[in-house]
Amino acid sequence: MTDKYQGFVSSPIGKLLVKNLGLPNPTKLDRYTAGDPLVQGTVLVGGRGRLAESLPGLLDVLGIASVGEQAEGEKYKGLVFDATGITTVEQLVELQGFFTPLMRSLESCARVVVLGTPPGLVEGSEQIAQRALEGFTRSLGKEIGKGGTVQLVYVADGYEDSVLSTLGFLLSPKSAYVSGQVVRIGAHDETHGSALADWTAPLAGKIAFVTGASRGIGEEIARVLHRDGAKVVGLDVPQAADELVKVMNELDGDWLTLDITAPDAPQRIAHHLKEKHGGVDIVVHNAGVTMDKKLANQTPERFGKVLQINLEAPERITAELLEQGVINANGRIIGVASIAGIAGNLGQTSYAASKAGVIGFVDSLADKLKDGITVNAVAPGFIITQMTAAVPFATREVGQRLNAMSQGGLPVDVAETIAWYASPASTAVNGNVVRVCGQMMLGA
Ligand code: NAD
């Protein structure tokens, strides 16, 4: 599945038309290849606050080279600004002071990360100033250009050392299609640390269960979790058994074929994971369907089916796995929502309800989970798969261009985001919904 427009604009005729007609000209995004350093270039660190002093050391653990001063003529692959020291509204101008001189010194696909304090945990002018950071980062994400991304990471007081896995993700090409996002770090359980012995195989020894794993985004999730060291147990419907077995054989994984809406599906999944693998560390609820129709033409069967597959099944399966204690300590539950669940979409009342419900699912569990188990979700935008190949051409073109990257994302972009949540070093990343949408103009 490819982006034909992107191929066209890099041809000689395409280049000419882009120049003369002002057509969008998407940058080829950097993507991560196993074995690469996380950042191919230098990161400049600035700002003042709770993290500034420890940042160079943290980046060093990740093998990322950093400097503290801008040098004449140098280009930077990343900028990290500690804004936790901004405690009054007047101090917000420090953002302009730091970033403006650097905006023309960024390499393509540069990464910008601003670190703040969760506004809800402070008061008065500090609360106002910290909330203002959202508007700053989201706007910078829309103007950085050349495949660059900008994120805001709110780090709760006392969790300064828990930012490692998040910095590794947000500064690397793994976050190619994630921009304008706000991530919250602050664990509910401190007994499960943020340290990792091997950053190249963070999931070694882990069992990862992925639904809808025979193709599309689910297949890529299985591949990336396998790359990171996990043993993958893929699930899909019996009709997709051949494709599923093929993928799982390739990944030295295990499989299970059933319809997740079957009444006994939660029990069968729990039994399989417990008996064959002694439990599960990572549960990814990826299987999903669309059955689009305007509400005026909708039937109860179709409306209900979408809700059953996308929302009820993840809820029931998770409840069973938790009740039976099948999810191991420091486990990960990961939902797949959609930007349709945030912004709504024409013809998608059932799909958007199911996907907004996935966000509700995260909210309902985030404060209740014990033993370092976390719950988070991704909300993909336009990802080039068989699901989106079925979208009519004009709608598809609009979907692909209406974002800060002027292109659709790839399944691997969703998978990398899930791998970041899945890392044992991400215990402090809980209750988040991160969009993988190239900063789509729709919604927040
Ligand atoms: P896809 O149709 O290519 O794959 C979905 C997989 O889920 C298939 O293998 C299918 O057999 C499986 N599945 C469907 N119903 C099932 C059931 N009842 N039991 C077990 N397995 C079942 O779709 P995709 O594009 O790879 O999407 C994966 C997820 O990402 C979905 O949840 C989708 O809603 C979400 N998503 C996709 C996009 C996109 O642009 N492609 C955007 C936002 C969200």
Give the mean pLDDT of the chain.
93
List C-alpha distances in Å: 42 to 51, 60, 106, 160, 345.
19, 12, 10, 22, 40
Give the mutation target among 223, 233, 237 for probing the ligand 1 site: most ligand atoms within 8 A of CB: 237
Q: Check residue 399 and give its pLDDT.
A: 78
Whether 52 contacts 85, CB under 8 Å? yes
Residues forming beta bridges with residue 80, ordered by sequence position = 45, 113
Whether 30 contacts 109, CB under 8 Å? yes
CB of 115 closer than 6 A to ligand 1? no
Q: Check residue 85 and give its pLDDT.
A: 98
Ligand 1 mean position, distance from CA 413 (Å):
15
Predicted ipTM?
Answer: 0.99
Other CB atoms within 10 Å distance of the CB of residue 90: 10
Average pLDDT, stretch 160-188?
Answer: 94
Average pLDDT, stretch 47-76?
Answer: 96
5 catalytic? Reply is no
Q: Is the pLDDT at 219 greater than 90, yes or no?
A: yes
Residue 401: pLDDT band (50, 70, 90) is: confident
Residue 161 vs residue 320, higher pLDDT: 320
Catalytic residue from among 5, 159, 351, 421: 351
Other CB atoms within 10 Å distance of the CB of residue 368: 10
Could you give all domains of the chain from N- to C-terminal order, each with its CATH number?
31-185 (3.40.50.720), 207-436 (3.40.50.720)
Tens-place pLDDT, residues 141-165: 999 999 999 999 999 999 999 999 9
Q: Check residue 210 and give its pLDDT.
A: 99
